[in-house]
Every structure is written in structure tokens, then in C-alpha cells.
Amino acid sequence: MRITALLILVLLVFTEGHGQKIFLNNPSFEGDPQDATVPIGWHGCEPGTTPDILPGPWGVYTEPSDGETFMGLITRDNGTWESVGQRLKSTLNPPECYSFTIDLAHSGTYANYNQSIKLRIWGGETACSKDQLLLETPLIDHSDWKTYEVRFTPEKPVRFLIFEAFFSEKRFSRRGNVLIDNMSPIKQCPRV
């Protein structure tokens, strides 16, 4: 009887550890709609990073996919772009596989920042360090929200995530936008 109880306890502890989720602060970018504001729980990672909490400012009236607001990031025709990051509550370590989802859209009415761009998500060991590219989307040219899965195995420990508006390595000068909402908790990939 004792062995059975001990075995059940060990299995519960083991299962709980593998089912652990890492929750981010403000994963749906909630806040008062306003321009040039980094959402609570996030920090700017590029000079001139002034994301917007939407809808409302800059003529963007898309409904959020989750909650009351979402975030917009832009690229500019002077070759600058916006990016935000956040420290994770737990380190993501190799060789584990991790995944999360995020909703993305594009606005055709973003105060002349209306071209389609991409989103890149980086993992880093320190604040704003781009140590490993975790996802580069295709051009986000759809105005309806679509869910994208991010699935990766860290090459080295990841303590921070960075979300970066992006166009092209060769031609970064583009007035574009990407809308971001509803990031799920990070979890370990199911074992097969």
C-alpha cells in the first residue's frame, strides 16, 4: 500500500513539472488606448520604440482578439523599427521544446504606416538581446486576427522574449505595421 501511494505521489510531481506553463505579464497588451506607450509589463528594446495601445489612436479601430486592447508595432521609412521585450518568470533551457501561440493582424488605416510587415520573435539571455530567432512570420497582410504557433528548442538558456517589427534585412525602410494580441502561456511541447 505504501509503495502504491509513493508511486502515485512521484507520478503526480513528475506530471506537474512537465505540464508547467510560464505566464507572461500582460500577454494581451491591456492598457488605456494611447499612442507612444509601452504596455505595462513590457519594455522598449530599440531606440525610438513607441508602440501604441490600440484600438483608437492612429485611426486603428480593429476589435481586439482578446480583452479590451492590443499592441501595434511599426517600421519607418527612415530604417527604424519598434520592438518590445519581457523577462520570463522561468528560464527556458535546452534541449526542451517549448511552444506558445499569438494572434496577429494588420491595419490598412494606421496613419500612413499601412504597408504589410513581418513580426520576429527572439529569445535572449539578457534584456533585449537577440540570441536566437524563434519565429519570423510571412508578411502579415490580413486585417482579421490569425493565430500563429511559435515552437522552438532553445540553443542556450532563454530568459527574455523580444517582439520586433520587421521587413527585410536588405530593405528595412518601409512604413508598415503589425498588430499583436492574445499570447498564450509558454508550455513544453508534448512528448511523443
Amino acid letter at 20?
Q
Cα–Cα dist 106/62, whole Å: 9
Domain total of the chain: 1
Give φ, ψ of 177 to 5 degrees. Answer: -145, 155
Give residue for cell 519581457. Answer: 86
pLDDT band at 168 (very low <50, low <70, confident <90, very high): confident
Averaged confidence pLDDT in the chain: 90
Query: Which residue range forms the structural domain that includes residue 128?
Result: 2-188
- CATH code for the domain of 144: 2.60.120.260
| CA nearest neighbour of 78 among 47, 104, 43 | 47
The confidence score (pLDDT) of residue 148 equals 97
pLDDT at 85 over 80: yes
User: Which SS3 state, helix, strand or coil, does residue 109 take?
Assistant: coil
Is the model's pLDDT at 130 over the cut of 50? Answer: yes
Neighbours of 52 (CB within 10 A): 29
**In this predicted model, what pLDDT tens digit does every residue of 35-83 receive, in sequence order?**
999 999 999 999 988 999 999 999 999 999 999 999 999 999 998 999 9
Q: How far apart are CA 50 and CA 56, in angstroms?
A: 15
- Beta carbons within 8 Å of 164's beta carbon, 6+ residues apart: 45, 46, 73, 81, 82, 83, 119, 120, 121, 122, 130
Whose cell is 528595412? That residue is 172
End-to-end CA separation in angstroms for the chain = 31
3-state secondary structure of 150: strand
